[in-house]
Copies of this chain bind each other. A is one copy, B any other.
Amino acid sequence: MYSLAEENYLKALFSMSNDKGEVNVNDLSKRLDIKMPTVTSMMKKLAAKTLVHYERYKPLKLTEKGRIEAALIIRKHRLTEMYLVEKMGFGWEQVHEIAEQMEHIQSPEFFAKMDELLGYPKFDPHGSPIPDKKGRMIWATYSKLSECRQGDIVKIAAVVNTSDEFLRFLNSREIHLGLEMKIKSVESFDNSMVVNYDKHLSEMLSHTVCERLLVEKI
């Protein structure tokens, strides 16, 4: 239906809108590593296909149709990640690059089967919500670990800005989704935390790490 390039612009627009509200040509250009004039001309093309509202010098906005198309691509990405982890035994740090390619596969039957075999999961291996077949996505309301206090007991619900390096760091500390931890202390000078979970009785986590972990308070 849409080209690989078009799909990548739609997906980037969608997730940047969710992160920051307004998306400018310059932001999109940096995100995709594509020069601004190229982005401008693609926006005109997507506007002609009624996927984007485009007005010269104004922030970019997906149309409802564009939002749905983007969500359906992200659905394929996240279902794939979940399948790779749950059914094929990959680690959560190994699946993103494969999913980047698989998300462009055109086969409703293939993704319907994945969904069925997985038991219709609501979240991917990084805790991000999987949009439904109509492109609707429910955002759970998690807190950053960094916003929690000494004594709080929390459950790890999702990771944000999931780079391979960060995920491997979490692996090395045996931190995974669903893990419960208690906050033993918060250092006031650098906002680092000392936490306690499983066999890790006193693990230090930097503020940078705590900002990237989303948790549910218990």
**How far apart are A5's CB and chain B's nearest CB, in angstroms?**
13
Nearest neighbor of A114 in chain B, beta-carbon distance = B88
Interface 1/0s, chain A 79-95, versus B by CB < 8 A?
Answer: 00000100111100010
Q: Range of interface residues on chain A?
A: 10 to 19
Whether the pair B107, A97 counts as a contact (CB closer than 8 A) is yes
Name the residue on B nearest A95 (C-beta): B110
Is A109 in contact with chain B by the CB < 8 A criterion? Answer: yes
- 18 CB contacts below 8 A, A to B, read A84-B110, A87-B87, A88-B113, A88-B114, A88-B117, A89-B113, A89-B117, A90-B109, A90-B113, A94-B109, A98-B105, A98-B107, A98-B109, A98-B110, A101-B106, A101-B107, A102-B102, A102-B105
How many copies of this protein are present in the complex?
2
What are the 4 closest A-B residue pairs judged by CB atoms, nearest first?
Answer: A101-B105, A98-B107, A98-B110, A88-B113
In angstroms, Cα B156 to Cα A42, docked, is 53
Q: Is the interface of A mostly helix, strand, loop or mixed?
A: helix
Give the Cβ gap from A127 to chain B, nearest Cβ, in Å.
Answer: 23
Give the residues in chain B near A107, CB-CB below 8 Å. 97-98, 101
Which of chain B's residues has its CB closest to A94's CB?
B109
A109: B residues at CB distance < 8 A: 90, 94, 98
CA distance A101 to B110 in the complex (A): 11
CB distance from A209 to the nearest CB of B (A): 27
Known contacts A88-B117, A94-B109, then 16 further A-B pairs from the complex at CB < 8 Å, ordered by chain A residue:
A87-B87, A88-B113, A88-B114, A89-B117, A90-B109, A90-B113, A97-B107, A98-B105, A98-B107, A98-B109, A98-B110, A101-B105, A101-B106, A101-B107, A102-B102, A102-B105
